[in-house]
Amino acid sequence: MSETNVYNVQGSYRLRIPFSFDCKTDGCTETIQTVTDGRQPVCPQCARTYDPEKAIIELADQFPDEDEVEDGELYSWADHDSCSGVWFERGAATITIWGKGKGGISGVKTIEEAEEFVQELADELGAEITEDIEYNNMTMKWNLDGKVALRDAFMLLDYDEMQYEPEQFPAISCKDKVTGSHIFIYSTGCVVVVDIVEPEVGEEIFNRVKKDVEEYELYIEL
Ligand SMILES: [Zn+2]
């Protein structure tokens, strides 16, 4: 039941990815086999060492570029100048992997979708998931039973860091006192909560908001 209200999931995990790349030392043509376990890749021929954060971007070359795929198909890219991870994208879903195997996922709508995409990519890379996904910034959304009188709500509700500036933003912005999660209450009755670690926690926050809206009689008669 709670899963249906999740509409943006972010998480991090760890992958042990085996991969290889060519030594770039003059005269050395050795292929270096490595794995994202935090160790520094070393060329067995010339003994040159590589920064794992730079070596990882070679993974992007194993996958098509954005202009080589249809919408919704998997592609990969890396910024060879900044060397800050390798990106795998499919539709709105994005996976980023750093040189020591730390991975991130964002832009997915459900936990199932996150787990499927990470598993699929791990299979594709011949990688092992060594730390399961830990969700750190989930966004959830619900609808209250009617429209809300925001000006009254702003005066009556007791949340942390309450803000309501209708000419700038059409919602009350505040923080849940228990979890510190950020809550947005719109006049349409839409409630959005960000910074959630588990859907169950989001449900608890929403239920507190709903109870308050009912108790303070903040629904606008339609
Ligand atoms: Zn070498």
**pLDDT digit string (tens) for 140-163?**
999 999 999 999 999 999 999 999
Q: Residue range 36-41: average pLDDT?
A: 93
Q: Would you say residue 130 has pLDDT above 50?
A: yes
Q: Would you say residue 221 has pLDDT above 80?
A: no
- Give the model's confidence band at 4: pLDDT under 50 very low, under 70 low, under 90 confident, else very high: low
Q: Ligand 1 centroid vs 173 CA: distance in angstroms? A: 56
What class is the 144-215 domain? alpha beta
pLDDT of residue 70: 95
In the chain, where does the domain assigned CATH 3.30.310.10 lie?
144-215
Q: Would you say residue 16 has pLDDT above 80?
A: yes
Q: Ligand 1 centroid vs 50 CA: distance in angstroms? A: 10
pLDDT in tens, 54-107: 899 999 999 999 999 999 999 999 987 776 789 999 999 999 999 999 999 999
Q: Ligand 1 centroid vs 54 CA: distance in angstroms? A: 15
* CA–CA distance, 50 with 62 (Å, rounded to integer): 19
For the chain, give the percent of residues with pLDDT over 90: 81
The contacts of residue 23 (CB under 8 Å, 6+ apart) are: 29, 30, 31, 32, 43, 45, 46, 48
pLDDT of residue 83: 66
Q: Ligand 1 centroid vs 91 CA: distance in angstroms? A: 38
Q: Ligand 1 centroid vs 59 CA: distance in angstroms? A: 18
Better-scored residue on pLDDT, 170 or 17: 17
Q: Ligand 1 centroid vs 26 CA: distance in angstroms? A: 8
pLDDT of residue 1: 38
Q: Ligand 1 centroid vs 18 CA: distance in angstroms? A: 18
Q: Ligand 1 centroid vs 77 CA: distance in angstroms? A: 25
Q: Ligand 1 centroid vs 29 CA: distance in angstroms? A: 6
* CA–CA distance, 138 with 8 (Å, rounded to integer): 6
